[in-house]
A and B are shown apart, each in its own frame.
Chain A
Amino acid sequence: MHVLRFADLIGVPKTVERVGVATFKAQVAHVELAADIAAAVPGRIVLYARINRERPENVSVGLRYESDALEEFTFARANGDHGTHENPDGTVVRESHLHLPPPAALGDPVRYLRRLRWAEQMTYPPTLPDAWGTFADRLSIAPDRKLEKALRGLQHKYGQLRM
């Protein structure tokens, strides 16, 4: 039996299967859009994209893994500019960053991860379409027009920077 490893989850080609409708999250502070992801792995992968209504540069795009054997957990998450992040080795990344399982764990069989302690510095502007573009490249998710249109719509509706 093939053992599913973190590197498999990250590298397996993925396509967007079904895009949901935008819903309020954490009452009305955030808006979330979720989509089912198809990939040749056991279990289920769900994508979520969120934007903070009062701080629209505070976006996040993540992939959650769900299976019968494990508690569901996020295995990759891109954040916009919510401030700094400190890695376990003490390095600090600022502004946009991408949380992933630590490099040393990529060859390990998939297990429940309570926290994504490791993050890489990213350079995308903190908007949902930009975060998605970088995230999709890094996580091997094929472009999807419907999702991209929905994310642009969310950014336009809720993400106008107040100056």
Chain B
Amino acid sequence: MTAEEIVRSLHESFGTRASVRARQPGRLFQVEIAAYLADGDAAQVYVKPLEDGRIQVTDLGATCMRISYEHKLSAKTDAVVRSVAEQYGFEFTNGQVTRTLPLSGLLTAAHALAQIESSAEAAVEESVAHRLTTTHFKAIVREALREAFAAAATFDHRDPEDDDGLYQIDALIHGPRKVAVAIVSSNLSAEHAVATHLTVDAAMRARGERFTWATIPRDLDALGDPYRRRLVKHYDVVAPVYDEASLPVARRKLAELARLPN
């Protein structure tokens, strides 16, 4: 199969909807179709002619490379890419998404590979978002509170009677009323928040003091039933899910609870 035959066949398949560039004449071609990924870069589709007359359609490792711009590659990201690739009849081998087929199948395969690249990125995003660590989630929320309330927010408040620091309050919003905020990302942290409330609130009441108790859960519905019930019994939930859309709502509600101007 000559380079001219490949180029002619590619043009016949794609017409004006794509351009074909010989990256290594006779050996490697890039097909550019109007398929853009989440950051605006075009999907990368390469074609290698094989000696038996078939072709190999491949991403040359671009899918994993792009994922690695934002996430560490691991067995888990490999599994996600492999799963998406196999849904479209492709293989995932040595970090590359590939499929060997007759030249006549190129049009479909090129569009499928673009879809794989896009879907794999989205699937990895989703899988990573679900395993944000408790520490990381707390850090993100603390930063948002610091930005929203400036000096009116303090962190890791420790009651004077909490000798060992076992029941620290994640954040305290200082207004005409003081709001104790528990940042909750898991069943375990929900239980700790409840224990903190029970212990610190009792000590404060004995001194004639009190806080208003509020919680920012990562996802209230993701907590187990008993943990969720106990959390909402002891805390005012300022937003059931923490994301960019709920952030202004959470901020406004905390300000209301603290009786600060919105």
Contacts and interface: CB of A to CB of B under 8 A. Distances in A.
B61 A30 contact: yes
A85 B40 contact: yes
Interface in B75-102: 94-96
B65 interface: yes
B167 interface: no
B65 A68 contact: no
**Chain A: number of interface residues, binned into ranges:** 35 or more
Contact of B65 (A29, A69, A85, A162): A29
Contacts of A88: 40
Interface in A63-96: 68-74, 77, 79, 82-88
Contacts, number: 107
A82 B21 CA distance: 11
B220 to A, nearest CB: 22
Contact of A68 (B36, B69, B139): B139
B119 to A, nearest CB: 15
B40 A55 contact: no
A114 B70 contact: yes
B95 A82 contact: no
A99 B66 CA distance: 13
Given A55-B23, A74-B70, A29 B96 contact: yes
B42 A84 contact: yes
A108 to B, nearest CB: 11
B262 interface: no
B127 to A, nearest CB: 14
Contacts of A127: none
Contacts of B62: 52, 58, 82
Interface string A136-163: 0000000000000000000000000111
A3 to B, nearest CB: 8
Contacts of B136: 71
Contacts of A58: 44, 60, 62
Contacts of B68: 25-26
Contacts of A84: 32, 41-42
Nearest to A3: B147
Contact of A55 (B38, B46, B147): B46
Interface of A: 25-30, 50, 52, 54-55, 57-58, 60, 62, 68-74, 77, 79, 82-88, 99, 109, 112, 114-119, 161-163
The 7 lowest CB-CB distance pairs between A and B, nearest first, are A29-B61, A27-B95, A26-B64, A26-B95, A115-B39, A83-B42, A69-B143
19 contacts: A25-B68, A26-B64, A27-B95, A29-B95, A50-B65, A54-B61, A58-B44, A58-B62, A71-B136, A71-B140, A72-B70, A74-B69, A77-B69, A82-B42, A84-B32, A84-B42, A86-B36, A87-B40, A117-B40
Given A26-B96, A161-B24, 4 more contacts: A27-B61, A30-B61, A69-B142, A82-B62
